[in-house]
Structures are given as C-alpha cells and as structure tokens.
Amino acid sequence: MAPPQHILAIDQGTTSTRAIVFDVRAQPVATAQVEFAQHYPQPGWVEHDPDDIWRDTLAVARRAIADSGVGAAGIAGIGITNQRETVVLWDRATGAPVHRAIVWQDRRTADVCARLRAEGHEDMVRARTGLLLDPYFSATKLAWMLDTLPGVRTRAERGELAFGTIDSFLLWRLTGGAVHATDVTNAGRTLLFNIHTGAWDADLCRLFGVPMALLPEVHDNAHVFGDTAAGLFDAAIPIAGIAGDQQAALFGQACFEAGMAKSTYGTGCFLLLNTGEEAVASGNRLLTTPAWRLDGRTTYALEGSIFVAGAAVKWLRDGIGVITHASQTNDLATTVPDSHGVYMVPAFVGLGAPYWDPEARGAIFGLTLGATQAHLARAALEAVGYQTRDLMQAMADDGGDAPAALRVDGGMAANDWLCQFLADLLEVPVERPEHLETTARGAAFLAGLATGVWPDRAALAATWRRGQRFMPGMADAQRAHLVEGWRRAVARTRSQ
C-alpha cells in the first residue's frame, strides 16, 4: 500500500479558521472555512474564545478531510499556521482556558510597555528578541492575565497552568493534552525567547514576571510534534509542521533565498524580507524575527507589521455601511480617477511599523462635499499601499536592496486595482501566485517535509506558480505628490 500523499493544513486566523487538504503537487483539493466571533470588552481590547477556535478547528478539519475523499488514513501529516502573539492560558488538568484569548491587536498593556521603555529595558529586549516593547507581543498580555485574574499567578507558579500561542493550544487539544510545544517562529513573537540562542530567556521571563514553568517546548518548524488523539479522526495523524502565519506565508511563497520578499494582505499587512542566516538588526524600527528553523539551522527575516489592512475594508462594510461586500472596493476604486484628496490613516488599534505608536487613532483627512463612498473605498485601499511603501523604505534604510519582485498573497491580493497601485507606489513588480492561500500552503510544506511527502525545498519551489505580474507605471511626480499627502496625514494622526 502506497504511503499517504496528502497534507491537511489548519490555518487559524484572526477572523476565521480554515482547513485545506493539499495533494503532492501542492494543489488544494478540499477547503472548509468558518468565521468566528470577535469580542471587544473595552476600547482597544480584542479577545477570542479559545473554545470557539477549537470547535471550529475540529469542524473544518473533519469537513476538509471528508470532502477530499482520501480519509484520515490518506493524510500524511497536519501543518498548523496561526495568528501570532495571541495569548491563551489554560488548565493542564482539564485543558480549559482560564480566560478568553487576548488577541495580537489588543492594546490594553500599552502603559506597561511605556513604563518598561522609560525604565530603559528596550535595548536589552531588542537585542535578544529582535522585537520592540509593544503591546502587540505576547509577554505583557500574559502578565496581565497573571496579575489581573484572581488566583491565576499562584496556580501558574504551582505548575497547574500552561501558556501558549494559538498553535500551542491547538497542538495540546489535538494530542489530547499529550504535547505542550511550539515552534521558533511563534516563540520568537512572545518577547520571552532569545532568537540568537534559540531558547527561552530567564532574564526576559523575570522582566515580565512570567514563570518559566508555563512555557512550551520549542522545536523546528518541520518536526513531528505528536499524533492526534484517538476519536478526533478515523485514524491518528501526525502533527508535523507549525509556523506563525507570516512566516508560513513566506515559506509558502517559496521565498527561500536571501533577498526574496512577500507581503500578506489580510486583517493586517505583513511584509517579510528573507535575510538568510544573518539576524539583521533594524535601525528603523522593523522587527528581526526567525523565518523558520530546519534541521537546527535558523533563517531570519526583517518584518514590517501593519495592524490594519483588510480590517479597514471590514470597517467600511460593518462599521459604517459604506459598502455591503468587501469585493466592492475594487469596483468602486475604479469608478473615480483619484481619491479626491481623501486619505485614510487606519490607526484603529494604533500604528505599527515603522511608527510603533500604540496611542494613535484612525482618521480620515481631506473630506469635502465632493467626497463619495467611492473615494472612501479608494482611500482605504490606497492606505494599504502607502503603509507598504513605508515598510519598503524602512528596509532600504536598513541597507536592504529592493527585492527583484514582491510576492503578494492574502484575501486583499485578489484585488487587481490594489496590486497595480502597489507596483506603482513601490516601483517594483508585484507577483501574485496562482493560488492566494500561501499561508496554509506554507504550513503544508513544513508538514510535508517532516513526513517525506516532499524531499527538499527545491521540490517545494518547483510547485510555486505565478498567476499575474503587475508592472510599475506611475509617473514619478504623481507618486511623489501622493506620498507627500500620506506623510502629512500620518503626521496629523500621531499621538507624539
């Protein structure tokens, strides 16, 4: 009997959970997806129910396997990719969460980060983690749970609780509580992990007040973490690959060589540049982060993180009713020749790279009586382009060469108008792959490497197919005019 040749990828995102079964050609053969509830208990606070996420994960995984027709026995391995930085704390005995998950977008610990910066800790934190002191990352969220929820710190110090990002929580549940582990890309986003030594850092844990007994084991990205527990599927399946969503997308885009870059457009926008085995320290407030670790060798990336991209379109739809479907933004943007001088700075949860201003708030500038819903929709899309240009400029200022092309993915990358605007603003070709689900594909690639479905990265690169290429065409003077207007708008939004 031939060994199984399909991989199940679980893509647990910020607003939805998706499962995709890939075949040996890295083609999707079955997909299931469900959105889940967002909770906003206070302004700037964002939470998810971990039990909702677990229930949805199991449901979409079962549905995708059933629809694939290969059955659990035909799945060689499971790859998990996940929203990063989101914090879950649960009971080791029961697996029950002690609180809702605190989401990466959550800003409740901005004052704690400001205090730690004022006390002079950021240089040490940056040197060891490649990150900034910002509420985006996991450590201060975890500390908030430990210090705010009655009795939780005492239970944590007794070893009764387990901490993890979403991947770690799903791994625990999938293995029936047998495995408490994570990978270097998720560990590297907690502010507790030294990306140079590849281990949890005792000094950082003391700084943030996190007992090391809470922390999961850390493994390579392509690694057999454990098997699914009896009763979840018709057969046990190895969980064989894990990566945070943006690193998974970089891997899924086959950006295996130093100098290659990708940008993912989902709820937020994340631009990653492969820097090889050198952890490049940014002088322009970008992040230095593990891209992946395979066979014990770490590849690093420079990352620029934009908190709001597709979320701005969702706000236009759900918040103020300017549109009824997200896809309308493409059509509306093409009905007007320009944005009529309207700029949207979507700092709904602060500004990410390269500004890192958690107190900034969203604003729309340049409104006149001639502004219409089409101009608002176009301004929301243009904001994605401007923010991407900010990141590319910061990478160039850090000494990085412009990539030969930018590979794009995520739901918003289906928008032709946006892709062309990106090419025009960035002055580099923008390449959109044949299939946009590169985050899930990256998780599948990692699991497939660990289980022998694919022999090496060359075999993976051979599966990447370009769908469309967008070439720059905007006049220099027009580009300069647009960018100057964006800079003025951002300056008026800043809290400092």
Q: Is residue 70 part of a domain?
A: yes
Per residue in 145-181, pLDDT (tens digit) is 999 999 999 999 999 999 999 999 999 999 999 999 9
Q: Is residue 46 part of a domain?
A: yes
d(CA 161, CA 151): 11
- Give the mean model confidence (pLDDT) for residues 386-401: 85
Which CATH number do you get for residue 29?
Answer: 3.30.420.40
Q: Is residue 14 part of a domain?
A: yes
Confidence check: pLDDT of 325 > 80: no
Q: Is residue 99 part of a domain?
A: yes
Per residue in 310-322, pLDDT (tens digit) is 778 788 787 777 7
The string over 161-200, giving b where at least 16 C-beta atoms fall within 10 Å of a residue's C-beta and e elsewhere, is: bbbbbbbbbbbbbbbebebbbbbbbbbbbbbbbbbbebeb
Q: What is the pLDDT of residue 43?
A: 86
Task: Tell me the pLDDT of the chain averaged across its residues.
Answer: 91
Q: What tokens does 316 get?
A: 């236009």
pLDDT-derived band at 15 (thresholds 50, 70, 90) equals: confident
Confidence check: pLDDT of 246 > 80: yes
Helix, coil or strand: residue 301: strand
Per residue in 16-33, pLDDT (tens digit) is 999 999 999 999 999 999
Strand-pairing partners, residue 299, are 292
pLDDT-derived band at 341 (thresholds 50, 70, 90) equals: confident
Domain range for 171 is 6-246
Domain count across the chain:
1
- 466 burial via Cβ count (<10 Å: 0-12, 13-18, 19+): exposed
Q: The pTM is what?
A: 0.89
Q: Is residue 267 part of a domain?
A: no
Q: What is the pLDDT of residue 1?
A: 62
Q: What is the pLDDT of residue 430?
A: 96
Q: Which of 464, 455, 448 is nearest to 21 (CA)?
A: 448
∠117-121-127 over CA atoms, to 5°?
Answer: 120
Q: Is residue 484 part of a domain?
A: no
Q: What is the pLDDT of residue 360?
A: 85
Sign, CA dihedral 444-450-455-457, equals: positive
Q: Is residue 16 part of a domain?
A: yes
Q: Is residue 194 part of a domain?
A: yes
How much of the chain exceeds pLDDT 90, in percent?
Answer: 70
Confidence check: pLDDT of 496 > 70: no
Integer CA distances (angstroms), 178 to 95, 181, 216, 237, 488, in order: 11, 10, 12, 14, 54
Q: Which of 30, 143, 49, 26 is nearest to 97 (CA)?
A: 49
Q: Is the peptide bond preceding residue 455 cis, with omega within 30 degrees of 0?
A: no
- Give the mean model confidence (pLDDT) for residues 4-14: 94
